[in-house]
Every structure is written in structure tokens, then in C-alpha cells.
């Protein structure tokens, strides 16, 4: 099994068929993606608003709100360029043309090969890399271009150094970093302006801000070694 973690690659599967949803989840997890699931259109809207996934795998024939409506809402109401792959039994050329007009980046017809879909996901993400300039793990999302950090839809108010810290941790998930390594990753060696022990104070403050919005211990202390960001 592939154990790599693809930074910033959170996939939201919107599919009401549990067999298809579970099959896709197995393949995506095996490829290192973080996976979220929605069982209908309303569930999808809520998860898109709360978690801002990196790519959307969207069935069109959904309960409550159709996939076409979701796609139109993402593009027009949210004004989002989130990559979208439509997954549907609608196989005519007109259906595909309509899907692309609504703003889909790719269109996959059922029944499909999971392996082919994984290839299409990779291709779409390569083409749209500039749209997904964020890192996301288990409800914690960082948007470096905007300097924003979010937990479960709530924006954290971080200092400049705290943001640099969490950005560094999230770029190295599940990896123990010493204080010296953290400083080297944040600064060029000749630009260090923070001592090793000052790191502890900043991490303490960062943890307090995270704890106010989540019970998950994202930043763990590894005794005698340093700190580790736990992504899952």
C-alpha cells in the first residue's frame, strides 16, 4: 500500500451509492489522498463550505440537490475554481457538453475503471495546481497565499511567526522536527532571529489557539526529540 501523504490533496466524494463511494475511498486512500464523503447534495454544500476541499468528485444524480446545481453553485455563488470531476451515468455528447459548460474540469461516465479515474484526478490536479494552493489535514486547512488558517470552518487569528510555524509543520506531516530543524526551515541560517527555546513559547501559544476550536492534538511533543504535526 502507498503510505505517502499528498500535501493539500483533500478529495470530497459526493456520491449517494455507498458501494461506489467506498470503492473510490479505498483507491484514494491507497494513493495517499485525504478523503471526505458526502451522501447527497445538501451534505456536499455543507462540507464544501466548511472544509474547502482540493478537488470534488461529483455524481450528478443526487438526492436533495443535483450535481449540476452543486457545480453551478460552486462556480457562480462561491465564485470558486475548485477542480470538479463529474461522475455520471449520463453518457451522451450533449450531457458532456453541458457538464463542461457548468464548469466541470473532467467528465467520467459510469461504469468506470477506478484506476482510470485516479489517473484523471492526477491529471486534473496537475492542470489546476495554481487553484489549490492550500494544505489540509483532518479539518485543519492552511491557505498560504492568503495567510489564513482554518479549523472546521473557523478562522484562526495567528501571528506572523505562528503562521510560519504551522505552515512548516503541515509541510512535514507526521515527521518529528527538532527545534533546530524548525528554525532552519523557517529561516535561512543567517537570518535566525528566534532562539531554540523561544520556539516552545510560540508553540504553546499556537496550541492554545488551536485548542479553542478543536479537541484534536495536532502538534505533539516527542520527548527528547522535538515536535510532530499529526495529520490524521
Q: Which residue has the cell 453551478?
A: 72
Query: Is 107's pLDDT higher than 80?
Result: yes
pTM exceeding the 0.85 threshold for the entire prediction = no
CA 124/CA 126 separation, integer angstroms: 5
Query: For residue range 170-188, what is the model confidence (pLDDT) as tens digits?
Result: 888 899 999 989 888 876 5
CB 34 within 8 A of CB 9: yes
Query: Is 194's pLDDT higher than 70?
Result: no
Q: What does the pLDDT read at residue 3?
A: 41
CA 146/CA 180 separation, integer angstroms: 27
Query: Is 5's pLDDT higher than 70?
Result: no
Find the length of the chain: 232
Please name each of the domains of the chain with its CATH number.
10-131 (3.40.50.2300), 137-229 (1.10.10.10)
Query: For residue range 119-157, what is the model confidence (pLDDT) as tens digits?
Result: 999 988 887 766 666 788 888 888 876 678 989 888 999
Query: Is 93's pLDDT higher than 70?
Result: yes
CB 118 within 8 A of CB 31: yes
CA 79/CA 176 separation, integer angstroms: 38
The partner residues of 143 in beta bridges, in order of sequence, read: 148
Amino acid at each position: 500500500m502507498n503510505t505517502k501523504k499528498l500535501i493539500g490533496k483533500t478529495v470530497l466524494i459526493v456520491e449517494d451509492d455507498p458501494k461506489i463511494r467506498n470503492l473510490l475511498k479505498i483507491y484514494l486512500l491507497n494513493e495517499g489522498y485525504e478523503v471526505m464523503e458526502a451522501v447527497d447534495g445538501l451534505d456536499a454544500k455543507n462540507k464544501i463550505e466548511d472544509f474547502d476541499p482540493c478537488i470534488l468528485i461529483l455524481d450528478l444524480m443526487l438526492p436533495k440537490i443535483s450535481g449540476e446545481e452543486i457545480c453551478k453553485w460552486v462556480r457562480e455563488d462561491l465564485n470558486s475554481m475548485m477542480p470538479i470531476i463529474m461522475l455520471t451515468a449520463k453518457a451522451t455528447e450533449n450531457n458532456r457538453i453541458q457538464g463542461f459548460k457548468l464548469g466541470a474540469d473532467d467528465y467520467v461516465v459510469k461504469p468506470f475503471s477506478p484506476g482510470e479515474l485516479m489517473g484523471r484526478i492526477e491529471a486534473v490536479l496537475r492542470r489546476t495546481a495554481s487553484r489549490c494552493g492550500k494544505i489540509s489535514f483532518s479539518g485543519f486547512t492552511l491557505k498560504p497565499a492568503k495567510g489564513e488558517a482554518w479549523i472546521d470552518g473557523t478562522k484562526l487569528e495567528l501571528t506572523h511567526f505562528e503562521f510560519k510555524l504551522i505552515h512548516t509543520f503541515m509541510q512535514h506531516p507526521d515527521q518529528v522536527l527538532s527545534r533546530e530543524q524548525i528554525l532552519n526551515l523557517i529561516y535561512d541560517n543567517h537570518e535566525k532571529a528566534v532562539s531554540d527555546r523561544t520556539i516552545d513559547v510560540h508553540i504553546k501559544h499556537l496550541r492554545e489557539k488551536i485548542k479553542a476550536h478543536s479537541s484534536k492534538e495536532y502538534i505533539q511533543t516527542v520527548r527528547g526529540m522535538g515536535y510532530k504535526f499529526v495529520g490524521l
